[in-house]
């Protein structure tokens, strides 16, 4: 089984499902040079958001820790610890900040 990201109209294959460990993110390089951070939670749901931490500019969100708040899964930036909802990309600590999200599937 592979992990795929939706880019425009195509599915972009990132890696093998086995390379994604629950709770520990990985980064992928997209064809246009941008980066995505991919995660899988303990239920096996996969998520993908932009890898860039908007508060510092560094491409590190894939290295953050996962957590849950109010039934939603988030990642906490490893640099300054702001949390981002993995489904919507919204920052839970600053309403006005959002990171981009990608549709992801296991196929």
Q: Is 33 in the site for other proteins (CB under 8 A)?
A: yes
Please pick, from the candidates 7, 11, 35, 92, the single residue that binds other proteins as defined by CB under 8 A.
35
CA–CA distance, 9 with 85 (Å, rounded to integer):
24
Q: Is 102 in the site for other proteins (CB under 8 A)?
A: no
Q: Is 105 in the site for other proteins (CB under 8 A)?
A: no
Rg (CA), the chain: 13
Q: Is 68 in the site for other proteins (CB under 8 A)?
A: yes
Check if the beta carbon of residue 93 is closer than 8 Å to that of residue 74.
no
Binding-site size for other proteins (CB under 8 A) equals 42
């Amino acid at each position: 089984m592979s992990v795929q990201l939706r880019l425009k109209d195509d599915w972009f294959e990132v890696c093998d499902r086995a390379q994604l460990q629950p709770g520990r993110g990985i980064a992928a390089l997209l064809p246009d040079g941008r980066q995505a951070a991919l995660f899988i939670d303990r239920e096996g749901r996969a998520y993908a958001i932009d890898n860039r931490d908007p508060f510092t500019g560094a491409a590190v969100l894939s290295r953050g820790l996962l957590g849950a708040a109010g039934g939603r899964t988030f990642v906490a930036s490893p640099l300054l610890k702001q949390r981002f909802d993995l489904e919507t990309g919204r920052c839970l600590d600053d309403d006005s900040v959002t990171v981009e999200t990608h549709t992801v599937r296991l196929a």
